[in-house]
Structure 1
């Protein structure tokens, strides 16, 4: 937040109030204070204001997708990920789960009360669960899958199907690294293969993903690992690229396809992250996660005339 924005927001507050709220007041008292404020605000609302917000607020409106169509897609995705434990996440997560680990701005997240935020990215939350399990059993290999409706407060791309709240299908794997980086190479290759299988399953049920492109990106230091991942997946025409994005821990992959509108859509994104290593206080811990824009599938990739 810029200085001018903060000045505008805090204008009219007593001197020292902002510092007290952000740094001095204990968390339990701060949440209690905010609950009182919200309770008073809610009590003052009238039906007309609720309808006005329902009509204009991008966070609360209906999803763009038919629920039956979305459930059909989720079923095929989960079937492809049969080796992964399917979990159902809470709608909220600990405050800062995205901004403290993934370095995303908290202003792009829908912050809530009682030390929570609405889930903006399930992979960050899955990292918490993976770290909890590894701390309990360091020799465990954790594989998790979930489908979750997320909310983000960031600018929305002007592309059909992109909305403030949307469904994401996610995979996560965590474990201690073995010799020769076998875990990270195997886990990324596995998740790429699962997502390719998922798209092929969907293609047998009325969806089309023409011009699929798989790209494996790696930092210069991990270029050899990128080559090994591409070789292990064993698919022809896997493109390679250089990764210069600090969000990932040196390795990333992307799968894109052309929609029925003829638009090139980045549909699946995954890679390695250092989150579980930091959460579990164990530098040997590896975390691999993938996110697929599953809501885009019934909106942009269903073949004309197909209902199954």
Structure 2
């Protein structure tokens, strides 16, 4: 090993706090009548502060043993720790356009970490999130950070007004990616609306109003992107509602467990939706220009929800943005177990005809759990701003 590989050493101390505490924990565990298995010890048997102390001790000792060569080799083989491939000026210029389009939303700069389990609480497998010591995890979705911020504001101010936030955040996800334009860490732009209507009968309407406000931001963005140097020729919105989709699929394939089918769909594999539908006996995705005309929908109790989404979201959106195409997906599986009520996708199309889903969102029940209030309504949507630069920016494509 060459001298250049030797890091400046952090001085060892016999009085190091984590080492002393870790030794004390080890003595306590060794004195238990039945020594637990190591996996049980780490997962359940240790108290929270003991678990954190042992993690800190172990990571500190391993860090002290590493050299510049070790660090270099990990950086070379792990995309998780490498810089993004896009020009930082372009993503920041796009952020400027996004923040301007979201001018009615308060802009916040989110923390890079969240409480341990935040992602699991909203339905994300912890294996797809980078856990950290001190009971934290690296942010994997800006919407989760906005939900925590919203809960904090609601608790602090006891406000019942509708509150709106937006944020641009670099997030990290550890699920496998098989497309070169995808990377473990990337920048997202997210919107969030927290609402509680004066009357319970208006709560669902508040959700639809939030969806309309979010879509207006994304529609304005689509209009402005060509002037900003992006190859966005057309934009399309696909609307769904989890209750309508579940009712429709139960009527089409009553023998299939819809929840299990939806959980097998992966956002990073768009073809997985069609695969799941075909396996269940549905030949193709059921898209409609007016889903209230579908015979199955007309006979369902959920017809009023479908009609309200058309009347309160789609029609005013198209009146304001006539060039925007709006369709309905009666068989959308991706996000079916994640959202609760109306949900959406935003598609952008290049001049060449290539079209991709670049934005996603919908109503979620997170705030009900965070504030122990069933009437809280929380709506989120986000756009892959980094992916937008990689695939639609004319300068980036040269």
- Using structure 1 for the length normalisation, give the TM-score: 0.89
1:212 and 1:18 map into 2 onto residues whose CA distance is: 50
1:15 Cα offset (Å): 4.7
Q: How does 1:92-107 map to 2 (within 5 A)?
A: 92-100=113-121, 102-107=122-127
* Equivalent position SS for 2:39: helix
> Would the aligned equivalents of 1:138 and 1:175 in 2 still touch at CA under 8 Å?
no
Partner of 2:370: 279
1:305 and 1:50 map into 2 onto residues whose CA distance is: 30
Partner of 2:52: 31
2:337 and 2:113 map into 1 onto residues whose CA distance is: 26
Q: How does 1:2-41 map to 2 (within 5 A)?
A: 15-41=36-62
Partner of 1:162: 182
> Would the aligned equivalents of 2:118 and 2:144 in 1 still touch at CA under 8 Å?
yes
Equivalent of residue 138 in structure 2, options 96, 118, 133: 118
> Would the aligned equivalents of 1:119 and 1:151 in 2 still touch at CA under 8 Å?
yes
**Within the alignment, does 1:127 sit opposite 2:150 as a pair?**
no
1:223 Cα offset (Å): 1.9
Partner of 1:291: 382
**Structure 2 CA distance for partners of 1:75 and 1:281, relative to 1, 3 Å:** same
Deviations 1:245-269 (A, max 9, x none): 1110121111112347754321010
196-205 vs 28-37, which moves further: 196-205
Partner of 1:238: 326
Partner of 1:58: 79
User: What are the ranges of 5 or more consecutive residues in structure 2 without an aligned counterpart?
Assistant: 1-34, 245-301
> Would the aligned equivalents of 2:141 and 2:171 in 1 still touch at CA under 8 Å?
yes
> Would the aligned equivalents of 1:64 and 1:161 in 2 still touch at CA under 8 Å?
no
1:306 Cα offset (Å): 9.8
**Structure 2 CA distance for partners of 1:239 and 1:23, relative to 1, 3 Å:** same
1:75 and 1:297 map into 2 onto residues whose CA distance is: 14
218-227 vs 33-42, which moves further: 218-227
> Would the aligned equivalents of 2:187 and 2:385 in 1 still touch at CA under 8 Å?
yes
Partner of 2:165: 144
> Would the aligned equivalents of 1:260 and 1:302 in 2 still touch at CA under 8 Å?
no
User: What are the ranges of 5 or more consecutive residues in structure 1 without an aligned counterpart?
Assistant: 1-13
1:66 and 1:129 map into 2 onto residues whose CA distance is: 30
**Structure 2 CA distance for partners of 1:305 and 1:92, relative to 1, 3 Å:** closer
**Structure 2 CA distance for partners of 1:138 and 1:305, relative to 1, 3 Å:** closer
Q: How many residues align?
A: 292
Q: How does 1:248-263 map to 2 (within 5 A)?
A: 248-259=339-350, 263=354
Partner of 1:226: 309
1:162 Cα offset (Å): 1.2
**Structure 2 CA distance for partners of 1:157 and 1:188, relative to 1, 3 Å:** farther
> Would the aligned equivalents of 1:260 and 1:300 in 2 still touch at CA under 8 Å?
no
1:74 and 1:305 map into 2 onto residues whose CA distance is: 16
1:153 Cα offset (Å): 0.3
Higher helix share: 2
> Would the aligned equivalents of 1:73 and 1:297 in 2 still touch at CA under 8 Å?
no
> Would the aligned equivalents of 2:192 and 2:379 in 1 still touch at CA under 8 Å?
yes
> Would the aligned equivalents of 2:390 and 2:396 in 1 still touch at CA under 8 Å?
no
1:127 Cα offset (Å): 0.8
**Structure 2 CA distance for partners of 1:57 and 1:38, relative to 1, 3 Å:** same
